[in-house]
């Protein structure tokens, strides 16, 4: 997870997944997805956060229509899962700098908005709002700068890799320089599937 979410969201997620209540159909998920160009950003190693020397951060602006959805969070969960990005969670984003050195991560904004710093001390702040998606290659530093009271983020991961939480120690950085380049590239874009921009952009970068 990437933050602290009220218990009600955790309970709602469990009930929905067990009972199917308010879970979107495949047709509803398809109808919610709209084509958006990928915004690509690269960040170098700043000595604390390794970032990713080969793969860029990808940000999609509004690829998911959340207005009118019975449960926007469930839309993101269903879409990510069918594209092979699983182990999803509902939460926020930590307000301290961190990164994952052994796995890629996708963040979908289901509700609210937040300003998030990607890339560490030499990175860039992005204002993300409901419907936006950010795909973080392993090693990418991220930190929430501010948000509204109703922020809800859906995170998920490819089926390979191991979740870890690195907070900027020298030891973590040294290990990450070895582990980050070894994290495999997923076969599908979490939003657009096997034909999505991520597949081309990330494979082109290796």
Reported as a single tens digit per residue, the pLDDT across 63-108 is 999 998 989 999 999 999 999 999 999 999 999 999 999 999 999 9
For residue 44, how many C-alpha atoms fall within 13 Å in the half-sphere facing its CB? 3
pLDDT given at position 44: 96
Domain 7-205: CATH superfamily, name plus number? Jelly Rolls (2.60.120.10)
DSSP 95-160: SS-BB-SS--EEEEEEESEEEEEESGGG-EEEEEETT-EEEE-TT--EEEEEE-TT-EEEEEEESS
pLDDT given at position 127: 96
Number of Cβ atoms within 10 Å of the Cβ of 67: 8
Reported as a single tens digit per residue, the pLDDT across 82-92 is 999 999 999 99
With b meaning 16 or more CB within 10 Å and e meaning fewer, what string describes 31-56? ebeeebebeebebebbebbbbbeebb
pLDDT given at position 56: 98
pLDDT given at position 205: 82
pLDDT given at position 8: 57
pLDDT given at position 149: 74
Length of the chain: 206
Which stretches of the chain drop beneath a pLDDT of 50? 18-20
Give domain limits for the chain: 7-205
């Amino acid at each position: 997870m990437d933050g602290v979410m009220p218990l009600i969201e955790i309970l709602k997620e469990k009930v929905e997944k067990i009972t199917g209540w308010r879970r979107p159909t495949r047709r509803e998920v398809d109808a919610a997805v709209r084509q958006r160009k990928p915004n690509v950003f690269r960040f170098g190693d700043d000595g604390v956060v390794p970032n990713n020397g080969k793969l860029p951060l990808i940000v999609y602006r509004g690829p998911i229509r959340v207005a009118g959805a019975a449960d926007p969070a469930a839309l993101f969960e269903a879409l990510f899962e069918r594209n092979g990005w699983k182990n999803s969670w509902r939460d926020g984003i930590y307000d301290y700098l961190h990164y994952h050195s052994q796995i890629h991560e996708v963040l979908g904004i289901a509700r609210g908005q937040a300003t998030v710093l990607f890339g560490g001390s030499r990175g860039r702040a992005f204002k993300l709002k409901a419907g936006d998606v950010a795909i973080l290659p392993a090693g990418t530093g991220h930190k929430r700068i501010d948000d509204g009271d109703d922020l809800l983020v859906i995170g998920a991961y490819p089926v390979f890799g191991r979740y870890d939480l690195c907070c900027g120690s020298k030891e973590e950085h040294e290990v990450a320089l070895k582990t980050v380049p070894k994290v495999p590239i997923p076969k599908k874009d979490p939003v657009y599937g096997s034909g999505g921009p991520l597949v081309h952009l990330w494979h082109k970068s290796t």
